[in-house]
Structure formats: structure tokens, C-alpha cells
Structure 1
């Protein structure tokens, strides 16, 4: 995956012109991957069941292969010797924690009740999606938007720690306690252990993060930093997008029949998701600019706030309510909407980069 660094006079058009063909037409490839996945899931009998059965410890192996392939090249690009400068940025760290763990779940809770008050299963599934903060696919969106790779690595690691600690507590608060307090009816509880959440975090973040760190450490020692960055990284870069496209095909193949057979339900779930992504991304992007963050860190903050850990949300919904439940369908619709919306926001982010250059 080609990456261009920000320049004061560079706009979206010049950035796009420097991208590889794979990057430049990413939206097209993603639409094709979505269509292919839906078609395969619809046309091949039993494919969804066959893919769903290939798992270990509740982790789907096909999705795991795609996500690990997607994340490894980007994490191998991270300059780990610069992480100290990120952790010392209190504005970035505090903003990320507040937006991800206070604002994000509250916004999704409100939207779920506003748009799906008459559909409790879908509403619950949507709230679960809001609780699962992104630790995987955001790496790709951030890199495409020329965000700060080191900041992204730190913020997803921070999210992963809070995910293990806070997911169960927030699930109890938003699904059980708060509805009762507000007189919205009986609540629901999540049957998910901290161990299972930790396993999800370790597998989808810990493994590629460790692999990326070791690759850079060993690679720089063997061939030097210049050769590592100018020769090795361009060779493995495209695999990030190959992994993304493969993951999308598998996700949509898993639920292709469900999605195409319940279009109205999908549309009902999709509407609050679109509003959620818009509120979280645009609001956080504005926040970054107001508090004086650079473009790179503002973009990183916005994408980490808007993205969600769909794998965890789907796993929790299935484990608690069943694979055919409305809660599980809400989890599946999450990436269906998130992928094209955040790809569009990558282009918005690149277009707005010039406002930082002239500020």
C-alpha cells in the first residue's frame, strides 16, 4: 500500500495521483468484494454454515486470516521508536479515551433507542456494536488517510486495554441498568467473559502488533532502516489491502443470504449506523482541530473514534443471543455500513488536509 506524507501545498488530487492503482480505486474494489461476498453467500448452499464452522475458541479463522493479513504490513511500517512522543501528547490520549469510552457508547445508545425503539433485538445489537471500540480495521483507514501511524498503534492498544476492562461493565450499564433508570423497560444482560474479550484483543491486535514490531526490529538490524523502508515495506504493503478485500468477501459471504432476504430490516439498522459514523467522525475531527492537533493526529483520532470492532460485536451477539438472532444481524450490518462510509471519509479527510496546511 503506497503511503504519501503530508505536504503544505498538497491537496487530495495530488495525494490520489501518487497512489497505486490498487489504492486509487479502493472504493471500486471494496464494492466488488461486497458484491462477490453477497453473491457467494446467496448462490452457494451451505457456504455460510461452512465458513462459520471454521473457528477456534469462537474466533472465525477465515476472518482472522483476513484481518491479520490486513494489519501486519501496516504495523510493520510503524516507527516504534517514536511511540513516546505519542504517549506524551495528553490532548490526544485524553480526547481518545473520552470520545471512545464515554461519548461513543452514549451516542450509539441514544441512536439505537431513537431509531429502533420498536425493535428491541436490533436495538440491543446496535448498542453492542457501539461498545466494541475499533482495534483492527481502523489501522487501514488511518493509513489511507495519511494519519499518524504511531498514534494509531498507541490508540488501538489503549482501546484494547479498556475493551478488556470496560466492555462487560458498559454492557451491563447500557443494556440493563440505564434502560431501567430512564423508564425504558426491562434491561438485558450480556453473557460474555472477560477472558473471551481478552482472547479477541490478543488475537486481533496482539499477534499482528508483535509481528510488526519484530519485523521492524529484525529488518532494520539486518538491512538498515533505509533499505527496510524503501525496499522491504513496498513489497509487503499491498497485502494490507488484499487482506481487507478478503475479509470483506468472507464477512459478506457469511451473511449474504440473511442480508439479501431481509433488506428492510437491514435498512432500519443501517440508518442509525450512518448517523453514528457521521457524528463520531465529523465531531471528533472538529475536536482535533479545535484543540490544536496536527492533521495526522486529528485524522487518527477521528477514525479510531468512528470505527468499531465488528468481530467482537458479532461474537458477543452470537454467544449471548444466537446466530440467527436480531442482535447478531445488527452486528453483521455494522461492517456492511462501516466499510463504504469510512472509505468515503478517507477521501473527505484527505480533502480537508489542506485546511491544516493553511491554518
Structure 2
């Protein structure tokens, strides 16, 4: 999932020494988690809820909204929505430290675990949960599978900082996921939406998805802002330096991601008002597999990191990068392939409404696990090797 503001300034992830035997006491390494969030990030679920209500009101009160939005289109996506999606993605990718991509070889266990969790376990788990919990709702099921394919690429930096994870490792894994999505998303979409259901003999009524069609929208709504974000960092750092780029430029463009997201949500709910008001239970049903997914992915990832002996900092980083999702890309692909009024698009929009409060709660879970499992600072495996 992506960040809407620059990650808050927190102390280095390496904590001060803690005397043995203090696991049950309050850990001085823990801070006030919510207080570290910016105002925008702290109230993100509220902003999303308000945008949903505004969209529903507009959908019922403004006639001809459908025609107005589709008057100008960019490859079957209305121009206002396309602009909103691109604005939503750009600040996310402008934050990524692309120059850190080559430093990941310091811990091959972390890299292998992250790739396996993000690109094998995560999509497979969402596929299974979507089919188990939404067998009679094919559009929402497909939307959730698309969410499972879109791996988190930036907001994980915030959750990782709040949980005192390894910042350098998080930056590297985010950069890898950003690039990997360009290569893998379309192929995995074809596999989970077309090939695998056929192999398993599952119902595919009305499902006609081309890998090339998905790739086209990934290239537009991830590729274009990815190139723009990379150019921004390279040219900005070259012209004014990294300090200016990180402390001045990013805070200025960061809120644009939230504005783009809220605009897209308003439009989606305006166009889907009749469906939502007539079937409010559907939103609740979409939320259930999402809740199960976030908690299961985090739990499995944390257990794996602990088992591999990665230390708390990198275990936390592994868990948050695996549990989060890039809902902006999922929304963009769902709109491009299935349409703005589709159930697939609605499922994508419900994603951030559930993900944000759940991952904030998981920050507290991670800090609790540190007190129980890591009462003293754990050595960095990369430094030992």
C-alpha cells in the first residue's frame, strides 16, 4: 500500500540495550504509535469514509454523471479517473530509493523469504480466501484476487518505521516490489484469473481476462508513474541534493496521493451508489476475506522471520512488506479491465478502508511480540556474516 505523506521521523531502528528479564514490562523502545502518524495518515479511514458518503450523495443527486465522466477517455478509462489514478500513484513511487536495489544481497534469506511471501504465498492465499468466502459473488471475488496480486510498495515504510523495523531493508524490498510488479503482475493475473480456475474446475461465468490487457493497464498506471517517480528522484537529487528532496520536495507532493485516492473513491461510489445502497451486506462480505488475509499474512511472515533468525527488525520488515497491498494499482487495473462501475472496482476500493486500521493494529502486535520474543536487542545477521 502506498504512503500519503513522508514517513515520520523516528529514532533509528536499532534500539538501546534492554536489560534481560524485562520482557513483561513496558518496553522503552516503544513509542506512541498513533502520535507518530501525520494527520493525513492518522485519519485515513475517516477520509475514505467521508469520500464514500460524498460519492453516494453525488450519485443520487447529480444526473448524467456517467455520461460526463465518459465524455473523454484514455484507452476505455475516463480521463478524470485516469488523472486521479496517476496522481494517486506518483508520490508513492517518488519516495522509493531506487539506488538501494543492489544492496539486498547482504541477507539472501530475507530476500528469498520476501519474494516467496509476496509473489507466491500472498496471491495464493487471497485466491483461496476469495473462493472460500465469496463463492457466489464472482465480481467481488475477482476484485479481491487482483488486490492480492498488487504488492505493497510504499506505505509499508510508515508501518515499518512505527514498528521499529529495519529501514534500509524495507527500502530495498519496496524497490524490488515496484520493479517486480511491472514484470509479474500481468502473468500472475492471467494465472489466477483464468488458468488456475480452469485447472481446478471452478466456475468462471463471465470471466474473460487477457494477460496483455492487464499488462497494458499495469504499464499505464504503474509504469508511467514509476518512470516519473524515478526521474523526480534522480533529477531532484542531482539539482538540489538528497536532503532537499527528502525533507522539502517529498512532503510537498506526498498529500497528492491521498487527494487522488479520495477523488477516485468519490467517483466510484457515485457511479455505484445504487448497487451499494441496495446491497450493503456485500461490502461487509468483501471485508471478511480482507481481514483474514491481513492477519494471516502478517502472522505467517512474522513466524517465518523468527524461525529464520532474522532478528526483530528484519522480521518486522518482512511481515509488513508481505501483509500490505498496493490498492492503488488494484483499483486502476480493475477500472481499466472491468469498468468503473464493476464489482471488481468496488472490491478494490474497500481494500484501503480495511487495510489501514488493520495494519495500525498490527504495529501494536509487532511491538508486543518484540517484548515477548526479543527482550534484548538481536544482532543483525548481515553484520555477522
Q: Give the match for residue 353 of structure 2.
A: 340
Change (3 A) 1:231 1:263: closer
Q: Give the match for residue 155 of structure 2.
A: 141
Q: Give the match for residue 208 of structure 2.
A: 191
CA shift for structure 1 position 249: 1.9
Q: Give the match for residue 72 of structure 1.
A: 90
1:167 aligns with 2:181: no
Change (3 A) 1:237 1:338: same
Change (3 A) 1:242 1:139: farther
Change (3 A) 1:275 1:177: same
Which secondary structure state, in structure 2, belongs to the residue aligned with residue 45 of structure 1?
Answer: coil
CA shift for structure 1 position 63: 3.2
Change (3 A) 1:216 1:104: closer
Which secondary structure state, in structure 1, belongs to the residue aligned with residue 209 of structure 2?
Answer: coil
Change (3 A) 1:12 1:285: farther
Which secondary structure state, in structure 1, belongs to the residue aligned with residue 63 of structure 2?
Answer: coil
The answer to whether the 8 Å contact 1:171/1:189 transfers is no
The answer to whether the 8 Å contact 1:157/1:205 transfers is no
Which of 219, 223, 233 matches 2:250?
A: 233
Q: Give the match for residue 349 of structure 1.
A: 362
Post-superposition Cα deviations, 1:11-31, rounded to whole Å, max 9, x if no partner, equal: 352x43243322332222222
CA shift for structure 1 position 125: 4.4
Q: Quick one: distance in 2 between partners of 1:43 and 1:285?
A: 48
The answer to whether the 8 Å contact 2:55/2:265 transfers is yes
Q: TM-score, length-normalised on structure 1?
A: 0.80
Q: Give the match for residue 263 of structure 1.
A: 280
Q: Which moved more, 1:225-234 or 1:57-66?
A: 57-66
1:38 aligns with 2:56: yes
Q: Which moved more, 1:296-305 or 1:192-201?
A: 296-305
Which secondary structure state, in structure 1, belongs to the residue aligned with residue 155 of structure 2?
Answer: helix
Q: Quick one: distance in 1 between partners of 2:117 and 2:234?
A: 33
CA shift for structure 1 position 167: 2.1
Change (3 A) 1:115 1:230: closer
Which of 295, 300, 314 matches 1:283?
A: 300
- Structure 1: which 4+ aligned runs deviate by more than 6 Å? 305-308
Q: Quick one: distance in 2 between partners of 1:279 and 1:225?
A: 37
Q: Give the match for residue 310 of structure 1.
A: 331
Q: Quick one: distance in 1 between partners of 2:363 and 2:225?
A: 27
Q: Quick one: distance in 1 between partners of 2:39 and 2:200?
A: 49
Which of 141, 148, 152 matches 1:126?
A: 141
Q: Which moved more, 1:105-114 or 1:254-263?
A: 105-114
The answer to whether the 8 Å contact 1:63/1:251 transfers is no
1:3 aligns with 2:25: no
CA shift for structure 1 position 341: 1.2
1:107 aligns with 2:125: yes
Q: Which moved more, 1:305-314 or 1:281-290?
A: 305-314
CA shift for structure 1 position 84: 1.2
Which of 320, 345, 360 matches 1:299?
A: 320
Change (3 A) 1:10 1:64: farther
CA shift for structure 1 position 267: 3.8
RMSD, aligned CA = 3.2
Which of 193, 214, 226 matches 2:231?
A: 214
- The answer to which structure has the higher helix fraction is 1
